[in-house]
Structure 1
Amino acid sequence: MAAVDISPAAALHRRAQYPTACALVYEGHEISAAQLSRKTAELAAGLAVRGLRRGDRVAYLGLNSVTFFETLLAAAHLGAVFVPVNFRLAAEEVRHILSDSGAHTLVVEEGHRALVESVMSDIPARIHVLVDTDPRCPAATAPAAVWTPLSELLGADRRGTEPVALYDDDLAALMYTSGTTGRPKGVMLTHGNLWWNAVNVESVVDTRPDDVNLAVAPLFHIGGLNALTLRTLVRGGTVVVRRGFDPAQCLEDLVQHRVTTMFAVPAMYSALTRLPGFAAADLSALRSAIVAGAPVPTQLIRSYEERGILLQQAWGLTETAPFACYLPAGLTAQKAGSTGVPMPYTKIRIVDPVTGAGVQDADTRGEICVRGPNVTPGYWNNPEATRAAFDDAGWFHSGDIAHRDKDGFYYIVDRLKDMIISGGENVYPAEVERVLAAYPGVLEAAVIGVPHPKWGETVLAVLTCEPGTTPTLEEVRAFTGRHLARYKLPTQVLIAEQLPRNGSGKLVKSELRRWVETQRPAETP
């Protein structure tokens, strides 16, 4: 059978031939598929004139925007590789990504120009493009001559070539891990990885060609980009794009645009529930609200269920593009806390993290492993990390601890590296955090292990709370003691204004540990 062209640029090009609804709504401005396809072709031609070739890497540093999509699609148009960069990273982290990826071309918003200039002598990029076509971006202030204004790459005279054909094994993107521990690794995602995730999603999630998808999660994150957004764009729907997440604006968008699908992390969904207008907002159009990226508190599920919305839980990683497991909407309440069952074209197994032997018994914890066409072939320029992540049978070892119930539904317990060993017993922070999140007045909870002279480690809890709520250690232990074994109970409690999160909304426990060290908590009882 002949190979099938699955290029997103080709899909957009086909869509642009027909009069359809707008493709993007960006900060209130509507953009048709034809307009987006034309700009993409112009940008591709402008970059090609400056030497960009198939296989070269194109990095983008900026917030969510139309230019993000134009750059991604222009890269695909030429067969180049897209490298979205987390806009919250420090200069050294950006330097590492641009150097490690060997980025040939940089597309940068003015707000990040100074950061890039501070590391420019250490990176190999040959083309430096500064966004000057987006009124929502900061205006450029006397950039150095090394920068080419984006507007100079555009123009009707530059169009001509159609998108190159791209197939399953062609590299689509390098998406760098969040770097919560160690140096970020470049996850290689092929066009097949991205495409098969879309097939998985469309097989189990109620998605439709005319969907309206709200993109408020960072697009540099695989969930924000490929959970729903990219497929909606090339399939024929409308993507409402916001430069960032603002709870009040998000709620207004859900109502005004009659949004049907959305991906967000639990902290975003939780922020919406705290808005005064949440209870009365007309959210009747929202049929597929996917939540992933962190444990989902049971109370959050209930809050949306009361509004007639079944939050649909999923699990995956950048390496799985992103989903490996999904919980059907109809089981949201019955299987609360579960990440569901394997996606149709993805396989899952649990193994003993020490011996590597498969775990067959229900409710027995082990490391969750994944295999399928949506799974990365490995890490860019890092064969050691690739070998460490994959076993001889081709299973990707996720580093997440999980168990499977008797019905075959999976539950993620915690990260293997975050497990606390107290008095020889394993304590999984996520288990304790779920109980703490149900404490009256607690908004968020995070748990880490701290040294203890007798037990090795004990549990320290960091809480963010509603005004007027300041639970004592004794109150917290009394509450959690009704649900957890004694060795799992917090021995220290700290109250924080907010928890440290990265650009993807994930809790950064390395930063939390540094903060805890500055607080000098009292001795454990």
Structure 2
Amino acid sequence: MPNIYQSAMFNAERFPGKIAVSDAVTKLDFGQFCRRARALAKYLESFGVRRGERVAIMGDNSIDYLALMHATAITGFILVPVNIRYNVDELLYLIDDCEPKVLLIDAALSKISESIADKLSGRVVVLHSLPDDLPDPDLPALTTRFGDVEDGDVSLILYTSGTTSRPKGAMLTHGNLVWNAINYIVELGINETARAILATPLFHVGGFGVVNGPVLYAGGSLHILPRFEPASTMATLMEVQPTHLFLLSTMWVGLTDMKDFTTHRISSVTFVQTAAAPLGEWRQEHIRQVFHNAEFSWGFGQTESCVTTIKNRYTHEIMSHPGSTGYFWRHFSYRFVDEQRRLLEDQKGPGILEIKGPTIFSGYWRQPDLTRETLTSDGWLHTGDIIRIDEDGFAYFLGRSKDMIKTGGENVAALEVENCLARHESVMEAAVFGVPHEYWGEELVAAVVAAAGCTVDAGELRDFCRQHLAGFKVPKRIFIVDGLPHSSSGKVQKFMLKEKISALLDQ
């Protein structure tokens, strides 16, 4: 059955000599890239890695990281990307949960590696690097050309960000990765002329799934940055001149905060995307100014859907439908249910979204009960996200069903208030949530981070909210904070904020 390695081999034949992947020092054409994937798959076999065995990887983006993703289709092992920000306890939790045969951990993370060495002895083979020179293995001809996996075989276990609980391993299949690429190619018109920069981390589903993997699948080229840093990313953009660019919202904040950002003009970029958190209108305008030939896109999805299910293709679509994240792509069915999972009569919403399609994950690793809660027996994924659709078919994300604040008998969507606060020119980002209150039930509270070089006053922000929101939606209290705790995907971890703010309110 089709897989991403098979497509890379197709591109090796169709576009001989075409550069597939590159970094600051190395360029590999598709044929060389596929040989590296085969060599790594065989090398891991020497440590007992067989079909279905897990290999965890903790490190920066790299060519080998991508090659290992493709190598899963050759011998059928499962790759488990690990967040490089994990501490010892979090890493040990993941290892205990997925029981990898091998842990590839970057030498730069030697401190955490040394801390867990005794606990892993005899359980996991720990490697700090991979050999540069490995022979192309002698594999059966069909395996060399097409790999040796089926659609439903698991390729990746991606641990979700854990904004409310311990991370859980979402199992993505080879079929999921293929269909995600097909969706992007069909919906955005990506082809072999596309070039992208990979700066988003590969331990996050957006790193490979949003734009970057599809560009490679289509026969385009992917330039890899080990990790995001505003100045080096901008320098690389000027040098590489990509056609497609995806960055998380927090990354866009880093770029747009650069003093000279708006002095640049990057004409090559034809498609720009962001995701995760709201961006102020002025930041969006600056992005459109620098990437003046690009269509600007939002998007909606999650790890369990192998990223994207809703997205616009053209800037004018979201400009004429303010607040929309786009429209449902053609290979998905969707429906709206209430909190008891009953089908709503009005299928325009607002309602809790359930989706069905070829990119929906196969479940959570070793968590059958949670899988049954999230995934119905006939394949509907319960997203927990509240969506509505307008008369033109454009979708609006109203927040998580668990991210609604009940205050004074009224329901307030945290996202609506966050979007309002983000429109203020002195605000970099904001998080809104409820804390218990004897009179209101829940008190509406906001934590706000000032934009670079700005000071912000809580009273001024509350007045600003009153100009744009109903009175019951205006936060009762606004705390100015130095920063917000983020997950690897850029989402604010509100459970940590609630603990901090609740402690302040109790004083």
Give the TM-score normalised by the residue count of structure 1. 0.89
- Alpha-carbon distance in 1 for matches of 2:336, 2:119: 42
Q: CA deviation at 1:190?
A: 0.7
Match of 2:67 in 1: 70
Match of 1:264 in 2: 247
The equivalences for 1:149-188 within 5 A come to: 150-151=130-131, 154-156=133-135, 158-161=137-140, 162-163=143-144, 164-188=147-171
Match of 2:302 in 1: 317
Q: CA deviation at 1:303?
A: 3.0
Match of 2:125 in 1: 127
Q: CA contact under 8 A between 1:366 and 1:401: conserved in structure 2?
A: yes
- Alpha-carbon distance in 1 for matches of 2:481, 2:458: 14
Change (3 A) 1:283 1:336: farther
- Alpha-carbon distance in 1 for matches of 2:31, 2:392: 47
- Alpha-carbon distance in 2 for matches of 1:296, 1:20: 40
Structure 1 alignment gaps of length 5 or more:
132-149
Deviations 1:98-132 (A, max 9, x none): 2211212221111234424534565685432221x
Which of 3, 11, 19 matches 1:7?
Answer: 3
- Alpha-carbon distance in 1 for matches of 2:74, 2:160: 25
- Alpha-carbon distance in 2 for matches of 1:403, 1:234: 32
Deviations 1:237-268 (A, max 9, x none): 21111111111222222222111112222222
Q: CA contact under 8 A between 1:459 and 1:489: conserved in structure 2?
A: yes
- Alpha-carbon distance in 1 for matches of 2:388, 2:190: 29
Deviations 1:42-72 (A, max 9, x none): 2222222332211211111111112212322
Q: CA deviation at 1:158?
A: 4.5
Q: CA deviation at 1:183?
A: 1.5
Q: CA deviation at 1:194?
A: 1.0
AA of the residue aligned to 1:170 = D
Q: CA deviation at 1:381?
A: 0.7
- Alignment RMSD, CA only? 2.3
- Alpha-carbon distance in 1 for matches of 2:309, 2:296: 17
Q: CA contact under 8 A between 1:500 and 1:507: conserved in structure 2?
A: yes
- Alpha-carbon distance in 1 for matches of 2:214, 2:10: 14
SS at 2:339 equivalent:
coil
Match of 1:50 in 2: 47
- Alpha-carbon distance in 2 for matches of 1:507, 1:99: 26
Which of 431, 444, 452 matches 1:446?
Answer: 431
Which of 153, 163, 172 matches 1:189?
Answer: 172
SS at 2:298 equivalent:
strand
Change (3 A) 1:393 1:235: closer
Q: CA deviation at 1:474?
A: 2.6
Deviations 1:292-321 (A, max 9, x none): 223444443333334433321110000011
Match of 2:369 in 1: 384
Which of 20, 23, 33 matches 2:20?
Answer: 23
The equivalences for 1:72-471 within 5 A come to: 72-119=69-116, 125-131=123-129, 150-151=130-131, 154-156=133-135, 158-161=137-140, 162-163=143-144, 164-307=147-290, 308=292, 309-329=294-314, 330-354=316-340, 356-360=342-346, 362=348, 364-391=349-376, 393-466=378-451, 469-471=454-456
Deviations 1:463-506 (A, max 9, x none): 11135643333322211111111111111111122222122222
- Alpha-carbon distance in 2 for matches of 1:240, 1:428: 39
**Which one is further off, 365-374 or 94-103?**
94-103
SS at 1:9 equivalent:
helix
Q: CA contact under 8 A between 2:162 and 2:487: conserved in structure 1?
A: no
- Alpha-carbon distance in 2 for matches of 1:276, 1:440: 15
Q: CA contact under 8 A between 2:73 and 2:148: conserved in structure 1?
A: no
**Which one is further off, 285-294 or 312-321?**
285-294
SS at 1:381 equivalent:
coil
- Alpha-carbon distance in 2 for matches of 1:295, 1:370: 23
- Alpha-carbon distance in 1 for matches of 2:369, 2:276: 26
AA of the residue aligned to 1:323 = T
- Alpha-carbon distance in 2 for matches of 1:445, 1:488: 15
- Alpha-carbon distance in 2 for matches of 1:323, 1:245: 22
Q: CA deviation at 1:230?
A: 2.2
Structure in which a larger fraction of residues adopt helix: 2
AA of the residue aligned to 1:282 = R
Match of 1:147 in 2: none
Deviations 1:206-230 (A, max 9, x none): 3121211111111111111111222
- Alpha-carbon distance in 1 for matches of 2:135, 2:425: 60
- Whether 1:476 and 2:461 are equivalent positions in the alignment is yes
Q: CA contact under 8 A between 1:420 and 1:428: conserved in structure 2?
A: yes
- Alpha-carbon distance in 2 for matches of 1:440, 1:296: 11
Q: CA contact under 8 A between 1:319 and 1:375: conserved in structure 2?
A: yes
Change (3 A) 1:358 1:233: same
AA of the residue aligned to 2:326 = G
Q: CA contact under 8 A between 1:266 and 1:295: conserved in structure 2?
A: yes
SS at 2:376 equivalent:
coil
The share of aligned pairs that are identical, in percent, is 31
Change (3 A) 1:36 1:279: same
SS at 2:273 equivalent:
strand
Q: CA contact under 8 A between 2:387 and 2:395: conserved in structure 1?
A: yes
SS at 1:59 equivalent:
strand
Q: CA contact under 8 A between 1:7 and 1:165: conserved in structure 2?
A: no
**Which one is further off, 273-282 or 411-420?**
273-282
AA of the residue aligned to 1:463 = V
- Whether 1:510 and 2:495 are equivalent positions in the alignment is yes
Runs of 4+ in 1 over 6 A off after TM superposition: none
**Which one is further off, 295-304 or 330-339?**
295-304
Give the TM-score normalised by the residue count of structure 2. 0.92
SS at 1:151 equivalent:
coil
Change (3 A) 1:328 1:481: same
Structure 2 alignment gaps of length 5 or more:
none
Q: CA contact under 8 A between 1:359 and 1:366: conserved in structure 2?
A: no
Q: CA contact under 8 A between 2:199 and 2:228: conserved in structure 1?
A: yes
Match of 1:139 in 2: none
**Which one is further off, 10-19 or 506-515?**
10-19
